[in-house]
Every structure is written in structure tokens, then in C-alpha cells.
Structure 1
Amino acid sequence: MKASSVVSSLALLAGSLVSASPMRCRADKPAAFLLAGDSTTAVQSTGGGGWGTGFLGTLTNGAVGTNYGHNGRTTVSFVEGGDWATVIADVESKVSSYTTYVTIQFGHNDQKEAAGISVEEFTANLQNLGEEVRAAGGEP
């Protein structure tokens, strides 16, 4: 066998060992999903609405969820109106019993000229929201 074949075989073996390593298992706690967003997430009238209600209806195995979505919200108004503080408080209350995930769905209203939110501000807002979720012990 040529030296290059031996090296290639060893590289493949090493790669398969690395990829076969198990990821950190979080099965010790059920999941909690906290949904933050605009109307695309929010609870709507019967038979309508965003994806949030449908998603929460699929949870099993002790998973729980809360839809904090509000129609017309932006990354700025969701924070300024107090909704974000409620989400973060819920993260902090759940992390000891649940692996807590926060979905962050904004953009439809942020992009409107009347909102006055630049792409750079929107990007920074999303990054800040994600960092706050992590600081509270959750996963964005």
C-alpha cells in the first residue's frame, strides 16, 4: 500500500471517529419554547394566525411553550413595550427545569419605512436579543 493510501485511510478513520462522537445530550430536561415575534408568530383569530400556535400544538414528551408574539411589533417596539422583559423573565424562571429555547421572529415590520429601523440597527437588535437570551440561560 502506498504511503498516500495509508495516510488517506488514517484520515478517513480519524474523521469517522470524530463525527461519531455523541453531541451533548439534553434529554435530562424537557424543552420549553418561548416564541417572540410579530404577527407571523402571534396567536390570531380562529383558523388564522402565525406559525406559533401550530408549532406549540406539536409539543410532546413534557415540552411546554408560550407564544409571546404580537401583531405589528418590531425589534424596537417589542423591547420598549415590555414584551421582551417578559420573555427574559420566563427564560430565567424555566432554565432550572427545562432546556429553554427562544425563537426570535422579526423583520416584517422592521423593514417598513415608517419604523425607521436600518438594516444595521435591525441586525444589531437581533444580536442583542440573542445575547440576552444566552445571558438568561436560554438558547436563541
Structure 2
Amino acid sequence: MRLVVGSGRLASMLLTVMREDKETYLYGRNPKTVDYLLADFPNVKKANEQHFSLIKDVFLCLPPDGYEGFILKHKNLFDHNVTFYHMATAFKEEDVQLMVGNKKVVPLKLAGHAMVVKKEKSGLFVLGEQYKEDLGKIENLFPTMNIEIGSEADVLLAN
């Protein structure tokens, strides 16, 4: 099971390019935008905190100022084997790692604009060199996306 956290442009883009073969849940701070996304993606289910212990992959589609509130409130609800894919371009892996403690954090950064990727159903993710072992899994989850190995700093500079 996987969870997309957020209900803005990045979450919408992610749901557009994500493979539909697994249970996907959506959780966001704004119930109205969550409901709009759920109407657009009938295969996605609305998450509540009871689902969190079953989630294996969490895609954080939040602005940097939204991370701390979500993580500090919910991190102990997730299994110790969960992976947090952190997507905020202007927020660094080590900052997220400090918040989640001993849980795995993988920076997965979008190079470009979410609305363009959503429209074209294709784009570029950048994955850190130290996470090459996750490359196959990410390619499987996002079959229309290109994935390059690079640094968070490179994506920040490019965007």
C-alpha cells in the first residue's frame, strides 16, 4: 500500500503518472481538494490515520512548511519499514531525516513543473546516487517517467 500526502498540483501530477496496480491512498490537510482529487482518480482511496500502519511507501507532496506538522503528528503511526519519498525541491533530505528518525527517507525530486508533467503524462524525476537500489521500484511505480541519478542541489538549481 502507498500513500500520497498532499492534494495540490504535485500530488495530482503524481497520481496521474503513478501505476494503478496497487492500493493507493490519499491524505491531505484540505478535505475539499482531497475530494476533488478523489473524484479525478477513482482508483485512489481516502486515507485516515488507521491506514498509516499498513502503508509501505509515503510520497510527501507537501510544501516545506507542511512537512514538520504532518511528520511530527503522524510518524509514530507508520511501520518502522516505511519509506518516505520526499519531493519538496527546496527541502533537503537531512532535514526530513531528522524529523522521521530511524525511518527511511528517499529524495525523489521532480525536475520541471508538475502541471506540465501532468498534461504530458511524462517527465523527469531525479534520484540521489545513494538510492540506486530504489531505481527499479521507482521505475515500476512511474512507468512514463524518466529517472536520472543526480543531486537535490542540481534539481533546485535547474528548477
Normalised to the residue count of structure 1, the TM-score between the two structures is 0.32
Higher Rg: 1
